[in-house]
Amino acid sequence: MGIRLLFLVTDLEIGGTPRVVRDLATRLKGDDISPTVACLAPWGPVAGELLEAGIRVVEIGATSPFQLPRVVRDVVRVARSFDVIFSFLMHANTVAAISSVFARDVRYLQSIQTTQPDPSWHWTMQGLVERAAERIVVPSESVAIAAQRRSHIAPERITVIPNAIDTASFIAMNLSPFDQ
């Protein structure tokens, strides 16, 4: 069966991070890794793309921060059947960190995908919850620097893994500047 990997993301709307999660899940799917994607919010369009690719999707269905106790309970229930939880963005990282108190036999990784300074409380919260993860994964050196400066995350806890680019999709669009 391999590694049972849960990607936990805030939402699956059209956007950068949901697409990164989709690409990671579909590219890692195989004999060695069995990925599932869970989103805190109700399903968005990327959930359909994941399902079409044969990736299991779990909807936690949160619509308000006041649902945090239920959300944590639901994530803990889901987390207990996985080997690794890889969360993306502050909301999912926070829920994963709280869940790690109750689902201890799971390895936790967190990802920060942005350098945006605001809202600044996101960076403060990230600095509090990062301790629950083994590693903080970021897509670039600039995000690593932002995480160090704004969330006070120690550089040795951060791993830079650039987001993959599917070069075939650019070739298929035939966007060569020399074709004009």
CA distance linking residue 113 with residue 90, whole number of Å: 9
pLDDT digits (tens, 9 = 90+) for 19-64: 999 999 999 998 899 999 999 999 899 999 999 999 999 999 999 9
CA distance linking residue 43 with residue 10, whole number of Å: 10
pLDDT digits (tens, 9 = 90+) for 112-142: 999 999 999 999 999 999 999 999 999 999 9
pLDDT digits (tens, 9 = 90+) for 90-102: 999 999 999 999 9
Decide if pLDDT at 177 tops 60: no
Structure tokens that stand for 101 in this block: 């108190």
Beta bridge partners of 6: 36, 85
Q: Is 153 helix (H, G, I), strand (E, B) or coil?
A: coil
